Amino acid sequence: MLKVGLTGNIGSGKTIIAQVFSMLGVPVFHADLEAKKQFDDKKIRKSIREKFGTGVFASSGEVLKPVLAEIVFNDPALLDQLNKIIHPGVRKDYQQWCLQNARVAYTLYEAAILFESGHYREMDKVICVTAPEQLRIKRVMDRDHLTRQEVERRMTNQWDEGKKIALSDYVIRNDESTMVIRQVLEVHNKIIQNSKLTSVFNQT
């Protein structure tokens, strides 16, 4: 099984691209969604309380994610510390998930910070989803009801898109004018072929 990373900067539409791959029968691990589940873990909550204080918790004990996001997206050092609390659990879940899907040709690991976290080094291939910056900003403003300034502030915590493209094996342009499905099919077929070649070499 090949491990393929799928990433893209905020507003690129990588989740939609992941859904297209899923329709082709490719198992997809949504790292960002799995990360949100970590907030239900008592040990994780304890670590967050120790690091960020009680102000990021509701009276019910739940983490106030919008409050926490406002703090970390304004301080790269704090964002890094939060990632270090959350991501070990995500990695562990991913490893178990890979074992459950070991018989398929390839799987997708969808993550916004695949490059920033360094996890891309553990992937056999990487797909980067791109879109013009102004379109990405508009998408996030509409989706998350954020101001332009808030979106731009979050964008500063991600690598430049050009840097990600240079390190990726495949690029899918999601600019609302280029056909996405055709691009996904082309990438899918190339990865399948690569998986077959890898299987042959492993048997020799």
- Residues 168-178 have pLDDT tens digits of 999 999 999 99
Contact between 124 and 4 (Cβ < 8 Å): yes
Decide: residue 12, CB within 10 A, 0-12 exposed, 13-18 middle, 19+ buried: buried
Q: Are strands 2-7 and 28-30 parallel, antiparallel or unpaired?
A: unpaired
Whole-Å CA distances, 16 to 26, 52, 183, 187: 14, 33, 13, 15
Q: What CA–CA distances, in Å, run from 97 to 37, 94, 108, 122, 168?
A: 15, 5, 11, 15, 23
The pTM for the full model equals 0.88
The answer to whether residues 76 and 115 belong to one domain is: no
The string of pLDDT tens digits covering residues 141-164 is 999 999 999 999 999 989 999 999
Q: Give the number of domains in the chain.
A: 2
Among 100, 124, 140, residue at a domain's last position: 100
Percent of the chain clearing pLDDT 90 (strictly above): 90
pLDDT mean over 46-72? 94
pLDDT digits (tens, 9 = 90+) for 18-55: 999 999 999 999 999 999 999 999 999 999 999 999 99
Instruction: Verify that 153 and 189 share a domain, yes or no.
Output: yes
Taking only the tens place, the pLDDT of each residue in 84-133 is 999 999 999 999 999 999 999 999 999 999 999 899 999 999 999 999 99
Q: What is the pLDDT of residue 74?
A: 87
- Specify whether 190 is located in the same domain as 135: yes
